[in-house]
């Protein structure tokens, strides 16, 4: 299943959603005092600004918790497009239910579920705009980044989406997990270089595999183009011996062995 681009899941995106959505709601509601909204949010009159501020605060809390949770989750697991859409839907439902609860407590002229319908109309009609604008901007950013990258170049970003290393895919030897970092071993001319990048293996997997650099072990990726031979050690462990003598052989687990062999 296609994974969601990392652009959508980084800290900048989380802050944009968490702050941009309630701010847009606040500005829109204070500027365009729609009659149907006034009837639901402030039926008695005189509390419009206060109620709008409270509803914006509810959105701020819900969006901050939701996007903070999403940011934490993407650091632990790769998220698919479908999972991201489900998260956004849950975010929307939570906003609707909490706003409905506030309106019920403040007005009390109708039951809670009556206000759920009204809250759904309010949230959907206003919050849809920043959602669309923010996600279109993220799509444009993603397309621009991928569009400016030549097909044979790898762009390595750290966990905060800062570009740290750009190298050709054919010079990569292997990538190794080291606690909260990954160690990228590559060639620069005739010299072996290493770069320690603060990121996870799962965050890099899609990009590396799209360039033919395969996972061969829970803690390793290897470039099949640099494999000289696969051999079995005395202990029964399979290792990939690379075509650079100074590079330590890379372990190959049984889970990835057949896939790796098919690419040699």
Whole-angstrom Cα Rg for the chain:
25
In a domain, 1, yes or no: no
Do residues 17 and 119 both lie within one domain?
yes
pLDDT number for residue 144 = 60
pLDDT top residue among 132 and 184: 184
Percent of the chain with pLDDT over 90: 19
pLDDT number for residue 51 = 86
* pLDDT surpasses 60 at 169: yes
Choosing from 118, 147, 176, the residue where a domain stops is: 147
pLDDT number for residue 145 = 57
Q: How confident is the model at residue 142 (pLDDT cuts 50, 70, 90)?
A: low
pLDDT number for residue 183 = 94
| Token pair in block for residue 109 | 């002229």
Do residues 157 and 125 both lie within one domain?
no
CA separation for the pair 136, 20 (Å, rounded) = 14
pLDDT number for residue 103 = 86
pLDDT number for residue 44 = 72
pLDDT number for residue 58 = 92
pLDDT number for residue 57 = 93
Q: Which domain holds residue 119?
A: 6-147
Are the CB atoms for 230 and 252 separated by under 8 Å? Answer: yes
Do residues 159 and 117 both lie within one domain?
no
Do residues 96 and 56 both lie within one domain?
yes
Do residues 124 and 80 both lie within one domain?
yes
56-93 residue pLDDT tens? 999 999 999 999 988 888 766 767 788 888 988 999 99
3-state secondary structure of 186: strand
Do residues 190 and 212 both lie within one domain?
yes
- The C-alpha angle with vertex 173 and arms to 168 and 178, in degrees rounded to 5, equals 110
pLDDT number for residue 196 = 93
CA separation for the pair 29, 37 (Å, rounded) = 8
Query: Which residues touch 252 (CB under 8 Å, ≥6 apart)?
Result: 216, 217, 222, 230, 238, 239, 240, 260
Do residues 37 and 101 both lie within one domain?
yes
CA separation for the pair 210, 213 (Å, rounded) = 7
pLDDT number for residue 14 = 86
Choosing from 94, 119, 147, the residue where a domain stops is: 147
In a domain, 207, yes or no: yes
Query: Which residues touch 224 (CB under 8 Å, ≥6 apart)?
Result: 212, 213, 214, 260, 263, 264
């Amino acid at each position: 299943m296609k994974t969601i681009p990392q652009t959508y899941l980084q800290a900048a995106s989380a802050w944009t959603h968490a702050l941009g959505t309630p701010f847009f709601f606040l500005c829109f509601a204070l500027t365009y005092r729609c009659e149907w909204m006034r009837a639901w949010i402030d039926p008695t009159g005189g509390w419009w600004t206060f109620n709008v501020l409270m509803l914006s605060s509810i959105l701020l809390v819900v969006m901050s918790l939701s996007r903070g949770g999403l940011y934490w989750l993407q650091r632990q697991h790769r998220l698919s497009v479908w999972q991201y859409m489900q998260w956004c839907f849950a975010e929307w439902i939570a906003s609707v239910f909490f706003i409905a609860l506030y309106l019920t407590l403040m007005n009390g002229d109708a039951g809670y579920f009556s206000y759920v319908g009204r809250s759904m109309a309010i949230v959907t009609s206003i919050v849809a705009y920043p959602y669309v604008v923010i996600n279109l901007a993220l799509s444009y950013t993603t397309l621009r980044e991928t569009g400016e990258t030549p097909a044979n170049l790898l762009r390595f970003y750290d966990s905060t989406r800062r570009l740290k290393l750009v190298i050709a895919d054919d010079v990569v030897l292997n990538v190794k997990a080291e606690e909260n970092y990954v160690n990228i071993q590559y060639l620069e001319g005739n010299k072996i270089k290493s770069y320690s990048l603060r990121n996870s293996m799962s965050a890099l997997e899609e990009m590396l595999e799209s360039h033919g650099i395969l996972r061969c072990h829970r803690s390793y990726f290897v470039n099949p183009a640099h494999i000289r031979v696969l051999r079995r050690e005395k202990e029964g462990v399979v290792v990939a011996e690379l075509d650079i003598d100074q590079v330590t052989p890379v372990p190959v687990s049984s889970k990835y062995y057949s896939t790796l062999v098919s690419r040699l």
